[in-house]
Amino acid sequence: MDHQAHRKIPERVKLAREALANCNLCPRQCGVDRTAGQKGYCGIDDTVRCFREMLYCGEENELNPSHQIHFAGCNLRCEFCILSEWNEQPMAAKEIDFDDMAGKIIDRWSKGAKTLNVLGGEPAVNLHGVLELLGRVKPEIKVVWNSNMYYNEIVDKLITGLIDVYLADFKCGNNRCAEDLLGANDYMEIVKENILRAVNRADVIIRHVIMPGHSQCCLKPILTWLADKLPDVKLSLRDNYVPPVQVASAPSGYLTQEEMQKAVGLAKSMGLNLIK
Amino acid sequence: MKKAPYKRKPGDLEIRILKNGKVVMVAPDETLVKIAQVVDPEHCATQHNTETKENARRQKGESH
């Protein structure tokens, strides 16, 4: 974290809290008053809730072991979400005790955590909570913003300087798939804009979970865009797509090794900066 | 009539055993990850132990 930005966290928490009174943190633009207990698309009021914190070694190698803090509430409804039960009922998660969580961060750090990984749900809809937490830890901690990147500019402004790595989940390569699978028909424009902002702020890793049967419509357009706009950005292609038990639009099978090899081959042929 | 599959609720854990024998832990928590590391250490390798000493030294250094 940038020390100057770290010192300004109390002001930023205040601004983030004020924004909740007419919540437009994300493109859903719900406009609800979360400070009065109203809930928008993300399903949470102004309380900050965490459903899991753990030391995890399954992120990209340079981030591991990573101390994950899962904030409840999400602004996408990915059909294949592996934590959908929490996104549907975010208020079922326990409210965060910030002092207690700050203690856990120190503990995880002593047990080998290399990064502090804020994720969800979606951290953007918990902006005030993420800031509150970052204000209680040392600026030396390396912070990973593990996000779907579907948020409005105010989020970018208030996290600038506090994030060391943007782990940007680029899920779909066109708005039709995004509407069907994520419930967001303006996904592409928003995510691209936020990724382009992020590369001016800190290190960025673009993560794409390859979906079976979506190489032409999703994988290829994402890789093509990256090759054009951000050829040097770190790209992580993941093979861990898990099909939902009941499928509507999402792929119903697991990724094959052949599909993975083709995806990696395509990325390499475009000269992209693949990481593991 | 086909019954709808069980839908996970907050707090549930899900382990799938696929036809090809592969075991999939869906969004494993820390306990499941530890189990996976015991069952299949090759694919669940962790830098944890080697990092711990380094971090302990870092933290000690910062406190002085």
Q: Which of A162-166, B42-46, B60-64 has the highest mean pLDDT?
A: A162-166
| Continuous H helices in chain A | 3-7, 9-19, 84-88, 98-110, 127-134, 153-159, 175-182, 187-198, 220-229, 257-269
Taking the CA of residue A252 and the nearest CA in chain B, the distance in Å comes to 13
Q: What is the pLDDT of residue B1?
A: 59
CATH assignment of the domain containing A63: 3.20.20.70
The residue range of the domain holding A20 is 3-274
Largest Cα span, chain A: 53
Contact B4 A246 (CB under 8 A): yes
Contact A85 B45 (CB under 8 A): no
Of B9, B18, B47, nearest to A57 by CB-CB distance is: B47
pLDDT band at B40 (very low <50, low <70, confident <90, very high): confident
Query: How many domains, in total, are found in chain A?
Result: 1
Q: Give 10-residue mean pLDDT values along chain A (276 residues).
A: 97 98 98 98 98 95 97 97 95 97 96 96 98 97 98 98 98 98 98 98 98 98 98 97 94 96 98 98
- Whether residue B53 is predicted with pLDDT greater than 70 in this model: the reply is no
Task: Report in angstroms the alpha-carbon separations of A35 from A21, A44, A51.
Answer: 6, 10, 21
- Model ipTM value: 0.81
Q: What is the pTM (predicted TM-score) of this model?
A: 0.92
DSSP-derived secondary structure for A102-146:
HHHHHHHHHTT--EEEEESS-GGGGHHHHHHHHTTS-TTSPEEEE
SS3 state of residue A21: helix
| A57 neighbors A67 (Cβ within 8 angstroms) | no
Contact A110 B7 (CB under 8 A): no
Query: Which is more confidently placed, A163 or B34?
Result: A163
Q: What is the pLDDT of residue A244?
A: 94
Contact A55 B29 (CB under 8 A): no
